[in-house]
Amino acid sequence: MSYPGGGEVRGDAYGTTPLVTGDAVVLDLRAAGFATRAVALVIDVIVQGALLLLLAVLVFWMGTTMDPAATAAVYLGGTILILVGYPTAFETISRGRSLGKMALGLRVVGTDGTPERFRQALARALAGFVEIWLTTGVIALITSMLSRDGRRVGDFLAGTMVVEERTGRPRQEYVAMPPYLAGWASGADLSRLSPESAAAARQYVLRYRELAEHTRYEMGFRLADTVVAQISPPPPPGVAPVDFLAAVLAERRRRQETALRNHRSRPADP
């Protein structure tokens, strides 16, 4: 079933929202300061430097029994793995955090708040090989100081930024019900709506005002197509995807809260 809507957004119930993690947990996030990023970078450089030193010792030991060409190939391959492969793999697996960033409470995210992906981590690592290692950090220092958000060349190439991830209590963002859809939502069957679809829809609605225009359109209709196939009846014609998704989420939350209140008010068994 395809989404029948397509109207304009009515009202402004969503407002300006913070970034959202890949787990659909809304956190207070802001661009990391230059000093914090610098300390995190120093930690990562120290770790990689120690790995390079260990590699040099290993290659020196291997050189006593191996051909010099093979030894050089091992050293070159190991260096690339440490300087490019290590940060790429680490940030991809940890969703945007290296050892230094973990220590300082930082995380790499896309400029739209989405979690860092493999291609973005690879772009940052390749650029870092030049701007950090080959130029001893001069290029990264200059670009970070000139950028409003402290982004280096690798961040511009990858479309990312480093943010402070406060690990305090997550802020519970409220998704409001569009008033003109309250009647339709109250009679809709939402029992087949999956948690994954609801989480994706919630991310979209909360970040709606932060997204580029083409992203709003494409992502909105894609999510609306997914959700409308899991509920019934479909929304009235002409409803904007963001309003439709907000109505579904608000009604779903209302029913969950009602069920919880009824459960708490139910008398206990003797």
Each residue's pLDDT tens digit, 2-49: 677 665 455 444 433 344 443 333 344 577 888 888 899 999 999 999
Least confident span in 75-79, 109-113, 169-173, 244-248 = 169-173
Report the SS3 class of residue 146: helix
How much is the pLDDT for 163? 87
Mean pLDDT of the chain: 82
pTM assigned to the model:
0.53
Q: State how far the Cα of 36 lies from the Cα of 43, in Å rounded to an integer.
A: 11
Report the SS3 class of residue 57: helix
pLDDT band at 53 (very low <50, low <70, confident <90, very high): very high
> Do 219 and 114 touch, CB atoms closer than 8 A?
no
User: Per DSSP, what are the bridge partners of residue 31?
Assistant: 163
Count CA atoms closer than 13 A to 223's CA, side-chain side: 27
- The ranges assigned to domains in the chain are 29-165, 179-261
Each residue's pLDDT tens digit, 179-222: 999 999 999 999 999 988 888 888 889 888 877 788 788 888 99
**Residue 50 above 70 pLDDT?**
yes
> Do 27 and 166 touch, CB atoms closer than 8 A?
yes
Closest by CA position to 113, among listed 25, 179, 188 = 25
More confident residue, 105 or 20: 105
Torsion sign, CA atoms 94, 96, 99, 105? negative
State how far Cα 156 lies from the chain centre. Answer: 16
- Average pLDDT value for residue range 255-268: 76
